Structure 1
Amino acid sequence: MGKNDFLTPKAIANRIKAKGLQKLRWYCQMCQKQCRDENGFKCHLTSEGHKRQMEIFGQNPERIVEGYSEEFERTFMEHLRRAHPFSRIAANVVYNEYINDRNHIHMNSTKWLTLTEFVKYLGRTGQCKVEETPKGWFITLIHRDEMEEIEGQKRAKRDRAEQAEEERHRRMLEEQIERAQKLARVEGDGGQDTGATELRREELEAPLGFQLAAGRAAAAAGGGAAAAGEQQGRGGGGGRPALAGLDEEDGGGGAVSAARGGKKSKIEELMEKDRAAKEAQAASDAARAAAAQRLDHWLAPGIVVKVMAKKLAAYYKQKGVVLRVLDRFRGEVEMADSGDVLQVDQEELETVVPQPGGSVLVLNGPYRGSRGTLLSIDTKRYQAKVKLRGGSHDGRTVWLEYEDFSRFQGTFK
C-alpha cells in the first residue's frame, strides 16, 4: 500500500485539512484548485495544467471574466433571496454565508475587486437598496413583480423592433434618393432638362368642364377638332392642341394645369420623406438624451405623495407631504389626515397630479428641480402640460409624464 493511498494516515490528514475554507489568495479559479500555502500555490502556477488554462484565458480574457462575474452575481442573489428575502442585513454577513460553500465562484475572478464595489453595483442596477452606515454597508432585496418585468421586456423588444424598422426605412429612402439622382444625371447628359421645377396652375381656379358627345355627328366633330389641333401642334403655330370632349371656354385648359399642378415630382416626395425621417430620428435622439438625464431617485422636500404600501394598511392610498429626504431613496412623510410622520421608501410612494392651475415640482428628467404650473392633463398619454417658472427654463411649456412631477405644497417665491 502506497504512502498516500485512501486509508493511509497521510491521506486522511490531507482530507481533514481540506475540509475547511482556505485562503482566497491561494485559489486558482481557472483550474478550480485550492492550495493550502504559498509554496503549493507557486508549484501550481508552474504546472502544465495551469499553463494550458492560461492559454485558454489569453484567447478571450474579457469574456471569461464576464462569465465569472455573471455567475457570481447570479449565485449571490439566489442566496440573498433564499436566506434574507425581506431583511436589512450587512453585506459582509451575506458574503460570509455565501463563501461557506467551498465550490463558490471566488470574487478575485470577477470584475469587482472589492465587496464594496459589488454592493454599489447592486444599488445602481436596482437589485438591492444599499445603505452606508458606520457599521458598514447594508443591503435590502428589492422585490419586483414578475408580470411588470415581463411587460418591461416586451416594451424594450418593441422599441428595438421599431428602431430597426426606422433604420431600415431610412436606408431605403436614401437608396431611392440616390437612384433618382443618378437617373436624373443620366437623363441630363442625354440633353433633356430634368431639373426640378415647381408646378403651378396659371389659369383661374375654375371647375373642370366636360361635354359629352351625343351621336356620331358629335363624335366626328370631336375627332376633327382633335386632328386639327394635332396638325396645328406639328405646324409650330404656337397654339396648344385642343382636347376632344372638353369645353375650352369652361376651363378645359385649366384642367390640364390642374392635373399637372396637383402632384409633386418623385424627387420632391423622396426629399420630403427623407426630411420626415431625419426629424423622427432627431426626436428619437432627443428622447434618448432626456432618458440619459433621468435618475433612479426622485424624492424632494415639499412635494405631496401618496402611500401605496399595502403593509401600511392604516395609511394606504393616503396623501402626505415629504418633510425631508434621508438617503435619496427614503424620506419622512407627514400624513395629511392624521399628522403622523412616517419613514417610507420611494418604492412605496406615488406622485400626486394636482388640478389644472396647481403648483408642481419637476422630479426627474432634463428639467429636474424646476417649479411650474400645471396647465392641462392628457389622460390618454398619461402626460400633463406644465409651464415652468424661474431659472433658465422660465416661461417654457413642456409635456411631462405623471411620474416626473408631483404637486408642490406651498407657493412660488
Structure 2
Amino acid sequence: MGKNEFLTPKAIANRIKAKGLQKLRWYCQMCQKQCRDENGFKCHCMSESHQRQMQVFGQNPNRIVDGYTEEFETSFLEHMKRSHRFSRIAATVVYNEYIADRHHVHMNSTEWATLTEFVKHLGRTGKCKVEETPKGWFITYIDRDSETLFKERLKNKRIKADIVEEEKQEREILKQIERAEQLMPVGNEDTQPSGSALLPLSKSESGEKIAFALGSSSKPIEKEKSKSSKLVFEGAENDTKKVKDNGKSIKNGGGSKSALDDLMREQEKAKERINRKDYWLCEGIVVKVMSRALAEKGYYKQKGVVRKIIDKYVGEIEMLERKGVLRIDQEELETVIPQIGGLVRIVNGAYRGSNARLLSVNTEKFCAKVQIEKGIYDGRVLQSVEYEDICKIF
C-alpha cells in the first residue's frame, strides 16, 4: 500500500487540511485549486492542466476577468441582502462571512486588488452607503428591490393622502368656528329696551300700597307706579336671561363655557384619538439612552441622534459624545428637552409630527408650553404638553 493512498493517515490529514481556507495568493481561480504553500502553488502553475487553462484565459482575458468580477459583486451583494439588509456593518465582517464558503469566487480573480477598492466601487455605483471611520470602512445595503420600492411608494402615498384629508377636515372645522363666532351674540350687550328709563321705587305721601304688574291679568292700583315697578323687574330678568346656541346655554354676563370653546375642545379630542400612538420614535430627534445594560460601555445617559427607524419601535442611534451607532428599542430611550427658545418636534398626541418652539417649562407638572411653527397650525400655542410628547430636534 502506498503512503498517500485513500485511508492512510497522510491522505486523511491532507483532506482535512484541504477543507479549510488557505491563503488567497495560493489559490488558482481558473483551476479552482487551493494550494497550502508557495511550493505547492508553484508546482500547480507548472502542471499541464493549469497551462491549458491559461491558454484559454489568454484568448480573451478581459471577458474572463469581467465575468469573475460580476459574479463576485453579485454574490457579495446577495449575502448583504440576506444577512445585513437593514444594518450598518463593517466591510471586513461581511467579507469574512462571504469567504467562509471555500467555493466562492476569490477576489484575486477580479479587477479589485483589495477590499477597500471594492468598497469604494460599491459607494460610487450607489449599491451601498459607504462610510470611512477610524475603525475601518462601514457599509449599509441600499435596497433597490422593485417590490420594496413599490411598497415604499404606496406607504408614502397613503401618508400624503392622510395629511391632505386631515388638513381638509381642519379647514372645515375652522370655517365652522368662524361661522359660530359671527352668529354668537355679544355677552355683555345691554338687553333692556331702548328709550325706557328705570324709575326708583318711592313711597307715596298718601301711604297707599304699591301693586306690581307681573302678568297681563294683573290689575294695578296705581297706574304710574305699576309701570315703574314692571320696568325694574324686566331689567332684572333680562340680566339673568339665557340665550340658547347650538344646544348650549350661555349667560349674557359670561362665566359659562361658550359653544366656540366646546367646538375647539371636541376638535382637540378627535385629533388626540387619531394621533396618539404607542410608538413615538422619528428620525432627526435627539434622545437619551437609559439602558443600564450599556453602562459598562459608557453609553448610559448619553445622547444620540435617531438616524433610522426599524419596525416603528426600534431606532438606530448615532451617539454624539462617544462615537458609535446603537440599535435600541424605544423603551430604553428618553426624550430630550432643549433650552427655552429651542426647536422641538411633537412626537405624540394631537399635533404629532409638527415642529414647535419651546416657550416655557413647568418642572412641577412635568409639562411645557410650546408654539407650533409652520403648517396649518402655525402660531398655535399649546399650554400643557408632557415631556414625553416633545423632543429636541438635532
> TM class by shorter-chain length?
0.3 to 0.5
Given the two structures, how large is their TM-score scaled by the length of structure 2?
0.39
Whichever of the two has the greater Rg, that structure is 2
* TM-score normalised by the chain length of structure 1: 0.37
